[in-house]
Structure 1
Amino acid sequence: MSETSTKQGFQPARRLIDLVNAVRRSQDLPRAAMADLLARHGESAGDLTEREFSDSDADALRAAALRMADVLAETDTDKAAQALNVLLAEHCAPPYLSRHDGHPWHLHVDRGEKAGWDEWFLASSALALARILSEYGRVTWGECAAATCSAFYLGTGPGSARRYCSAACASRERVAAHRRRARERS
């Protein structure tokens, strides 16, 4: 397991959102699908073989993703901070800088080789959200407000706070609201 950097930089919060959404869509998400998702986020193929990332590792990672879903669902900044502090205390080791697999220096807080996939995911995800919360001073993530969607999003871009996971969901909701208003007027 390695925390890696991509061309856009290391993005553990994006990996968190993608994995949690995938597990919430399919709570029995196969190990191979999880491995593919992790590979798309820069984890090395050697770390994702069945020997290194077993079915029991996938089970533990699924449970960790669902635990992180609880944090992502929290809209109150103080409660989110408290939940993140609990995760940081339970799953993180002292921070250290690491450079491996051709990636630039980056921060690790996992317990290294002693950590399972679930511990690694909880530690790196909690750190990612804690960094975002401290940078923005508020929760910038959430669950899509569209009636037919429950995907989580990460709203760290410019502009006002996000309410939807995508432009498509926002547009569908605007059209639905417009049609409701039109029906109510007639």
Structure 2
Amino acid sequence: MRIRIKKVRDDIPTPSYAYKGDSGYDLIAGEDKVIEPGQTVKIPTGLAFEIAEGYELQVRPRSGVTSKTKLRVQLGTVDSNFRGEVSVIVDNVTEVKRKTLADKFRDWVAKRRGQFDHEGDIHPEGTYVVEKGTRIAQGVIAPVVQARFLSVPKGVELDVTSRGESGFGSSGVKSKEGE
């Protein structure tokens, strides 16, 4: 399958698969982003995709980012008719530490003395700086099936199954021996 891309930002590499057999290719940050604890940000990738009708681009987390940081990439869907720059939604799930009066005073003193980080501001502990070029998520091209929905008349029930209306956690948590 061929997918045309448009580079919306300078110096963005063409996506590629790291290994033969990979289902996902890396999506990289198209610009620097600071993500403080508790924040959700959109990280632009610098790329727009021409996805064929009948397919979607799924934005998924990279296991290395999830296992080694407190950053959580949200699953995303890029429909075949979207032609804008693709962004990745990222949450910083670091627990937000409430500042004590002493912390606020220390920050005030640091600012007065000109002790700033690289952006001229003091960021709370647990802040991540995602630099342009960082492999932040992965993209997977997948087929899409569109359903046709049929509303049943009042009084008509849906087919009965062994599960019925049992929902969240209905099958238990532990695995069953011998199955």
TM-score w.r.t. the length of structure 1 is 0.23
Structure having the larger proportion of residues in helix: 1
Compare relative contact order (CA 8 Å, sep 6+) and give the higher one, 1 or 2. 2
Task: Select the structure of larger CA radius of gyration.
Answer: 2
